[in-house]
């Protein structure tokens, strides 16, 4: 099995664009539930954010957690 290394970097949520496709599957109740879980247990699975050639960043996975984190500040 081939090993790959990934760089994990902390980024400000204000610098990341919402993923409009992923957002379609997330409703208000989902975001509130994610926020409750994060407050109770911490962030168990961080969102995956992609860096694009034009300098933008967008959520690739974990839109619900990302939206909850953004609201939580």
Domains of the chain: 20-72 (3.90.1530)
Instruction: Report pLDDT for 8.
Output: 79
CA distance readout (Å), 62 to 3, 66, 69, 72: 23, 6, 11, 15
**pTM score, whole prediction:** 0.79
Handedness of CA 27, 16, 11, 4 (dihedral sign): positive
The per-residue pLDDT for range 11-70, each reduced to its tens digit, is 888 889 888 888 888 999 999 999 999 999 999 988 999 998 998 999 999 999 999 999
Residue with tokens 């993923």: 19
Instruction: Report pLDDT for 53.
Output: 92
């Amino acid at each position: 099995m081939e090993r790959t290394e990934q760089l994990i970097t902390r980024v400000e949520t204000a610098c990341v664009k919402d993923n409009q496709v992923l957002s379609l599957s997330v409703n208000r109740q989902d975001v509130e539930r994610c926020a409750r879980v994060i407050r109770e247990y911490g962030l168990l699975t961080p969102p995956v954010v992609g860096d694009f050639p034009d300098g933008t960043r967008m959520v690739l996975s974990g839109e619900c957690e990302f939206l909850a984190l953004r609201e939580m500040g």
